Amino acid sequence: MIKQNEYYEGRVRSLEFANAQGKFTVGVMEPGEWTFEAPTREWMILTRGSWDVKLPGSEEWKTFGEGDSFQIEDNESFTVRITDAVAYLCPYT
């Protein structure tokens, strides 16, 4: 029912689950710079902290704070740069 995911030697962790509203992960990331490939469309919603994001097709960093979100299409990648631990929610299709 609930799957645990770990990336980058455990510095990024999430719990994956599904309910009547759809599929989700909730997770935390330690400081660092992390690149992710999205196999499906997903929305990244920051719930704690702030991060800089390099969105697909851009070479510029954009800062997001608590409550901010962005959408990634399937088979796109994005990079986050974090200076303090963050928490996020990620619904996906």
pLDDT of 27 reads: 98
Length of the chain: 93
pLDDT of 14 reads: 98
Q: What is the mean pLDDT of residues 75-80?
A: 97
pLDDT of 72 reads: 97
**Sign, Cα dihedral of 5, 46, 41, 21:** positive
Q: What is the mean pLDDT of residues 66-81?
A: 97
pLDDT in tens, 19-58: 999 999 999 999 999 999 999 999 999 999 999 999 999 9
Q: Is the pLDDT of residue 87 over 90?
A: yes
Integer Cα distance of 3 and 42 in angstroms: 17
Q: Determine whether 93 is exposed, middle or buried from the number of CB atoms within 10 Å of its CB (0-12, 13-18, 19+).
A: exposed
Q: Is the pLDDT of residue 1 over 90?
A: no
pLDDT of 84 reads: 97
- Cα–Cα distances in Å, from 35 out to 30, 47, 52, 56, 89? 13, 19, 12, 11, 17
Integer Cα distance of 31 and 81 in angstroms: 7
Q: Which structure tokens are listed for 38?
A: 């999205």
pLDDT of 93 reads: 87
